[in-house]
A = this chain, B = another copy of it.
């Protein structure tokens, strides 16, 4: 996703420097956009007022932040677009604050396509001051940009969304497996119930995958599973297990083990469908 975001920053003249763990990737994008290749994250931080991070997990974000720290300076704003825990966001923010730099947790939704097209939804946590200062950068990358509250609130909002996706895909998959077992014409079911109170984005947009038995990504099982692990950890801070999340993680483990990890999450339909024996009537 980082490539799409960097290209959109370059388009509006906001991409001054680049760094990537793979030097090849950094050089390719530097050649394409004319952006300077920084020797390391600290140099990037020293030379710029805003740094955008997009990595994978809590440890990655904190690792990059630590690597930035020697170059961090008052006035620097670090924007992290990774989906990680709210706790990791608060820790990153605290480490940067010691050097006078600000941090915004800005997880996105909209996938690789949204990043490429600059139409991501971006959910932000941090001070209102840092958010307003960073707005031109955020607007270059996304379309719906919301300041949710203090540090960590961007991640908490993203986690809320990922929990909801888990439950909705369970609902749609179970209902569609039942409909198929009953012998219903599935396209007509989607058309009819898609207008009703049981409907959802996933029903309208992914139940057709289930009707066809084909699950092109989409939102990959592997990635949603990673996000649900974060939701699990965040709920654990409250001493709670989230039932819908845990059931879905169990399904995802099964799906990844049987080679479906890179399919769209609507592939969970296959597990529900397998519950049913051939139509009884």
Interface residues of A (CB under 8 A from B): 86, 109, 121, 123, 144, 146, 148-149, 152-153, 156-157, 159-168, 170-172, 174-176, 178-179, 181-185, 188-189, 191-193, 195-203, 205, 219, 231, 234-235, 237-240, 242-245, 247, 275-277, 279-281
Nearest CB on B from A163, distance (A):
4
Chain B residues in 8 Å Cβ range of A183? 149, 153, 156
Nearest CB on B from A236, distance (A):
10
Whole-angstrom distance between the alpha carbons of A247 and B193 in the complex?
22
Nearest CB on B from A270, distance (A):
15
Q: B175–A171 contact, CB under 8 A? A: no
Q: Which of B144, B174, B200 contacts A199 (CB 8 A)?
A: B200
Nearest CB on B from A117, distance (A):
15
Given contacts A163-B175, A172-B167, A280-B239, contact A121 B195 (CB under 8 A): yes
Q: Which of B144, B164, B184, B235 contacts A172 (CB 8 A)?
A: B164
Nearest CB on B from A217, distance (A):
13
12 CB contacts below 8 A, A to B, read: A121-B192, A157-B192, A163-B171, A163-B175, A164-B200, A167-B170, A167-B175, A170-B243, A182-B234, A199-B201, A238-B277, A240-B276
Nearest CB on B from A87, distance (A):
8
Q: A171–B166 contact, CB under 8 A? A: yes
Whole-angstrom distance between the alpha carbons of A30 and B239 in the complex?
60
Chain B residues in 8 Å Cβ range of A239? 277, 280
